[in-house]
Homo-oligomer: A and B are copies of this chain.
Amino acid sequence: MITTKLPVRFVDCDAMGHVNNAVYYTYFEEGKREIFRWFTPSMDLGDWKVIVASTHCDYIHEINYDEMITVYTWISTISHSSFDVEHAIADEHGNWHARGRVTLIGYNYKTKEVEPLTDEIKAILRQHQDGPENVPELRQIRGVGETAR
């Protein structure tokens, strides 16, 4: 599990006075910094090796300016060329504010092709599959065919 402390910026908040819903994904992105480093130890942005396939966030409690938040990041599913990154955001009192999941795919930005995860990467990912205690589960998302109109 990766633990990332982040200061909430003034501009992260929208006109409702709380952190905007899109900014939670920026927090998740900061939570993945060490994951990016596993793929690109130099952190050279011209040598990036993952791309985002899908993202999800459940909002539990609003986040306010001048807070210090903690993003917890861990790995769940590991597949041939993709893996799921789980995220949860807590405040300094340990209250949960958000729960999310981001699916990353191994990707070659030059050939624009999906690349399988290497055994070395898979081994590192498997070492980070434990999440925080008492973390809320992701709410189930309905498939389009299941929606009641």
How many angstroms from the CA of A21 to the CA of B54 in the assembled complex?
Answer: 9
How many angstroms from the CA of A100 to the CA of B33 in the assembled complex?
Answer: 25
Does B45 lie within 8 Å of A54, measured CB to CB? no
Per-position contact with B for A93-105: 1 when CB-CB < 8 Å, else 0? 0000000011000
Does A14 lie within 8 Å of B16, measured CB to CB? no
How many angstroms from the CA of A53 to the CA of B21 in the assembled complex?
Answer: 9
Does A141 lie within 8 Å of B141, measured CB to CB? yes
8 Å CB contact of A65 from B10, B20, B45, B129:
B45
Main secondary structure of the interface of A (DSSP, over half): mixed
From residue A18, how far is it (CB to closest CB) to chain B in Å?
8
Residues of A in contact (CB 8 Å), total 56
Does A143 lie within 8 Å of B149, measured CB to CB? no
A–B Cβ pairs within 8 angstroms, 7 of them: A9-B30, A10-B15, A10-B36, A21-B52, A56-B57, A76-B149, A140-B143
